Structures are given as C-alpha cells and as structure tokens.
C-alpha cells in the first residue's frame, strides 16, 4: 500500500509522540507536508533528543518513514539545527 503525504506526516507525528513524547505543532506538520523536511531548533528538540536517538538506532530505515539529521555550521563547527525529514521508503510501498 502506497502511503500518501498526509499518512506519512500522521505516522511521523505518532512515532514522535509514542517514542519520545514530542508532538508536532500544526505549523510543523504543515511545513513537513509542503517541504518533506522541517528545521528544528536545538531548544525545541533537546528534551526529546535522547529518546529520538534511541528509537532511530533501534529501528531500521525500512521500518520508518522519517529520520533526523544534524546541521552543522561549517564556519565554526557548531551545531546549528536538526532537520526532520520524511519520505516514502520504496521497500514499504508494497505493504
């Protein structure tokens, strides 16, 4: 079954809530829906980061529709933001 964008955003929000206690705001959900990615401020994600990291380490990419990347400022090597990225994984489309 192919998941549409709304289903992917719903699944992402649900995963974040269940695994880390983080709930996306309506603006964050809308941004993900429009762009497929969301820049998250360090202060916003900090309380949830260890739980998110553990979930991502214990879950294969095939089993999820989202991931998070670090964005580092190349001028000073400081962590700038995190990016929450959603995508349809081709391996999951046949389920």
Q: How far is CA 23 from the centre of its chain?
A: 11
pLDDT value of residue 92: 40
pLDDT value of residue 91: 42
Alpha-carbon distance 26 to 10, whole Å?
11
pLDDT value of residue 2: 60
pLDDT tens digits, the chain, 95 residues: what are they? 567 889 999 999 999 999 999 999 999 999 999 889 999 999 999 999 999 999 999 999 889 999 999 888 778 877 778 899 997 444 443 34
Q: What is the DSSP letter of 41?
A: -
pTM above 0.85, yes or no: no
């Amino acid at each position: 079954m192919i998941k549409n964008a709304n289903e992917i955003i719903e699944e992402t929000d649900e995963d974040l809530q269940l695994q880390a206690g983080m709930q996306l705001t309506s603006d964050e959900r809308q941004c993900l829906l429009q762009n497929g990615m969301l820049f998250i401020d360090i202060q916003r994600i900090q309380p949830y980061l260890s739980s998110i990291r553990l979930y991502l380490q214990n879950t294969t990419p095939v089993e999820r529709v989202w991931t998070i990347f670090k964005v580092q400022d190349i001028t000073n090597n400081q962590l700038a933001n995190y990016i929450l990225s959603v995508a349809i994984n081709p391996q999951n489309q046949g389920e």
